[in-house]
Structure 1
Amino acid sequence: MPGLGEASGQTADLVRRLREFLAEAGFSHSDRLPPERALVAEFGVTRAELRKALQVLEGDGLIWRHVGRGTFLGARPVHNLGDLAYLRDLARPVQLLEARMAIEPEIARLAALHSTVQDHDRLRHWAERARRAADWRMYEAADTNLHNAIAQAAHNKLLMHLFNEINTVKRAVLWNVERRSTRPPQDHFAFPQHDAIIGAIEGRRPDTAVRLMRDHLASVGANLPPGAAR
């Protein structure tokens, strides 16, 4: 599928407008987008033009589409509930964290090198959504979208694919862990760490972005809730 860098002219402009729409509308990971007829009316384009732009966004890993079901934000999920149960049993949270530690610092480094102003806006948007989350499920969704936006900002399709696989396991594992509180506290460790990572990416400081992402994931491991052992 063509990525954003391969789009041009009217398609590139529509891709930009769709990205802004998705960021401002407040969709969470796996939310269904409005139907094509509504998007055609919203943006004043033909269905063919819309589908070209959606193909670009799908190639960039921002959305996925299922014929007869619609278009969804984020990575394509596993094929069935049996696969999801298998993935949940395959990796405990600590093992998931080890996998994330192996890939996400490098993704942060590439994001610091290749991200755009639009990427930075998405990072800030999801960091703020995480900070305002009313409960843990909303926080996890915003956090997932933030890390997904960092992966998109790296503009490396292969790494994006690998990240999506790990992200699928993350949703299966961490959303089944019990929490002691109903929502993250206002001084939750992740909030300033997210801000620092975004600052390093915006400031084009790849080595700092790597270090901060490693520190962040180490903090995630240190704060795993009870029942998250191997």
Structure 2
Amino acid sequence: MFLKNQFQNEPQNLARILSHCLKEEKKILALASKTQGCNNPSMEQNSTELDNKVNGLKQQTLEVKREIKTLEDLYEQLDLIQKTWPSRVQQCNEMNQSRAAVEEDCLERESFITQTKQIVLQQLCGILNHTSQVVATLTDVELPKWKHRQQMACIGSPVDTSLDHLQKWFTVAAEVIVGIREQLLKLQEQNNKYNCTDASSLAANMVEIQKFALSLLTKLLTK
């Protein structure tokens, strides 16, 4: 109505303006359609790659969880030996020799546990590093792409605005980070429960990993 009133006495100018607007809209829609057609294989490939990455991270987290459960079993075995060895050596004739053998066995077990914990912490750190890359891809690439598709859909472009993939990736990434934080807490509980001699030397690493995990979770949830 506004245009009609403004150009009531100049219908040719109104026609030219409307024609220009329609041509520009067609250009935008054609470009959007072309972009969608060219990018579909690429989008599918990216989706497959991200699926593989997040599923791989989830599997690695489960493996670390099993290793920490194994650590708990090792601690229990060591604790049992340390509590029961006096009664065991009394049954032997060579008391001093038996005591030395038990102490050596305990030291070997403690050393193995410490090495295993160091490996577990390295694995947790590695998982977080890979998760960091996934989080960056989600927040800095995939989310802006989805927002752009939303904008294109608003002007009629036939683009896919589904949130299914994005929601899945965000959810799994968050689950991985939360899972790592939970496993770090279990390691800390083991240190406290069994009065681990290596607790202080590993504490700094555990704190740094916790901070890293929290920063990733914050970035993921605030986007």
- TM-score over 0.5 for the alignment? no
- Larger Rg belongs to: 2
State TM-score, norm by structure 1. Answer: 0.23
Structure (1/2) with the larger helix percentage: 2
State TM-score, norm by structure 2. Answer: 0.24
Higher relative contact order (CA 8 A, sep 6+): 2
